[in-house]
């Protein structure tokens, strides 16, 4: 049986820590390791920061961003839903970690790069005019 | 995040504590800029008390490093935690920054 938890937050950078506290609490209940919880928290930080800074460019609406956690067997599903203009962050070109300093340009992408590395999977879809980014982390 | 500053000869040690994320990374960047503007171009960032860093923090590190190396200076990293080192390695920054186990070693390396 799925167990679902959710929190709604405004599109402010302060919401990152609120989302992380929520995730830490629920993930610990489900037995994720400290390292796995940290990986989830970094991923959520990066996603929410992008939504706040680039999606909404900040919004006071209390339900601008929803973070949904669902336990699905041996996996924790983290879905981040927002109403900013539709945009799939997973389509951003992956930055190259092998680039030397002087070839690095600041065009972003590192946050999503971390999401792809830290989470077991990340999938984007849009439904009802809202962005959904669904990330999965194994409970181990 | 709190940043304490200490001068060791002509080396400036910035000791950050807490977390470095999108909320406060600009503060770190401003601190770097302030020191660079004052001619302090040999900087050590002591991360021993930093338990969390996101890509926003890494961006400020890279931006500062570029500015410093253009003027023959450097930003060297001391004692990153396992988690901070992990994101640095994931971004390939462990091959770009000189990283030391202690602040003393970082200072002595200049």
Residue A98 in contact with partner chain B when CB distance is under 8 A = yes
Interface A:B, Cβ pairs < 8 A: 59
Asked if B83 and A14 come within 8 Å (Cβ–Cβ), the reply is no
- Percentage of chain B lying above the pLDDT 90 cut: 100
Q: Map tokens 């001391």 to a residue.
A: B78
User: pLDDT category, A59, cuts 50, 70, 90?
Assistant: confident
Select from B54, B56, B90 the Cβ nearest to the Cβ of A117. Answer: B90
- Residue range A40-56, pLDDT digits in tens: 999 999 999 999 999 88
Query: Has residue A68 got a pLDDT over 60?
Result: yes
Residues constituting chain B? 110
Provide the pLDDT for residue A37.
97
CA angle A119/B58/B87 to nearest 5° reads 35
**Which A positions 67-86 lie with beta carbon below 8 A of chain B?**
none
Asked if B22 and A110 come within 8 Å (Cβ–Cβ), the reply is no
Domains of chain A plus CATH, in order, are 3-138 (3.30.565.10)
Q: Does domain B2-108 have CATH number 3.30.750.24?
A: yes
Query: Has residue A2 got a pLDDT over 70?
Result: no
As a whole number, mean pLDDT of residues A13-40 equals 96
Do residues A22 and A7 touch, judged by C-beta distance below 8 A? Answer: yes
- Residue range B22-42, pLDDT digits in tens: 999 999 999 999 999 999 999
Burial readout A91-102 (b: 16 or more C-beta within 10 A, e: otherwise): ebeebebeeeee
**Which B positions 29-48 lie with beta carbon below 8 A of chain A?**
none
Element (H, E) at A102: none
Q: Can you point out the beta strands (E) in chain A?
A: 3-9, 65-72, 75-82, 121-127, 130-138
A126: tokens are 């849009």
Asked if A49 and B54 come within 8 Å (Cβ–Cβ), the reply is yes
Per-residue pLDDT of chain B (110 residues; tens, 9 = 90+): 999 999 999 999 999 999 999 999 999 999 999 999 999 999 999 999 999 999 999 999 999 999 999 999 999 999 999 999 999 999 999 999 999 999 999 999 99
Residue A42 in contact with partner chain B when CB distance is under 8 A = yes
pTM of the model: 0.95
Select from B21, B23, B90 the Cβ nearest to the Cβ of A97. Answer: B90
User: pLDDT category, A106, cuts 50, 70, 90?
Assistant: confident
Contacts of A41 in chain B (CB under 8 A): 52
Q: Which of B18, B19, B20, B21 best probes binding to A when mutated, by most A CB atoms within 10 angstroms?
A: B21
Asked if A110 and B55 come within 8 Å (Cβ–Cβ), the reply is yes
User: pLDDT category, A58, cuts 50, 70, 90?
Assistant: confident
């Amino acid at each position: 049986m799925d167990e679902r938890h959710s929190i709604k937050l405004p599109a402010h950078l302060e919401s990152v820590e609120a989302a992380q506290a929520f995730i830490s609490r629920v993930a610990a209940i489900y037995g994720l390791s400290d390292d796995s919880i940290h990986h989830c928290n970094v991923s959520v930080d990066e996603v929410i920061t992008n939504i706040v800074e680039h999606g909404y460019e900040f919004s006071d609406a209390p339900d601008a961003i929803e973070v949904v956690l669902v336990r699905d067997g041996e996996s924790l599903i983290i879905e981040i839903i927002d109403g900013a203009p539709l945009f799939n962050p997973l389509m951003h070109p992956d930055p190259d970690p092998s680039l030397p300093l002087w070839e690095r340009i600041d065009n972003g992408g590192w946050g999503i790069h971390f999401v792809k590395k830290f989470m077991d999977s990340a999938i984007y879809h849009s439904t009802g005019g809202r962005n959904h980014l669904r990330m999965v982390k194994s409970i181990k | 995040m709190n940043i304490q500053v200490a001068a060791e000869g002509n080396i400036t040690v910035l000791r950050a504590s807490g977390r470095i994320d999108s909320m406060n990374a600009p503060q770190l960047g401003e601190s770097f800029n302030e020191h660079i503007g004052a001619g302090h171009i040999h900087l050590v960032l002591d991360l021993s008390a930093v338990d969390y860093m996101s890509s926003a923090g890494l961006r400020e590190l890279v931006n500062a490093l570029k500015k410093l190396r253009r003027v023959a200076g450097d930003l060297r990293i001391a004692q990153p935690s396992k988690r901070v080192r992990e994101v640095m390695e994931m971004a390939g920054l462990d091959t770009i920054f000189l990283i030391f186990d202690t602040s003393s070693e970082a200072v002595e390396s200049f």
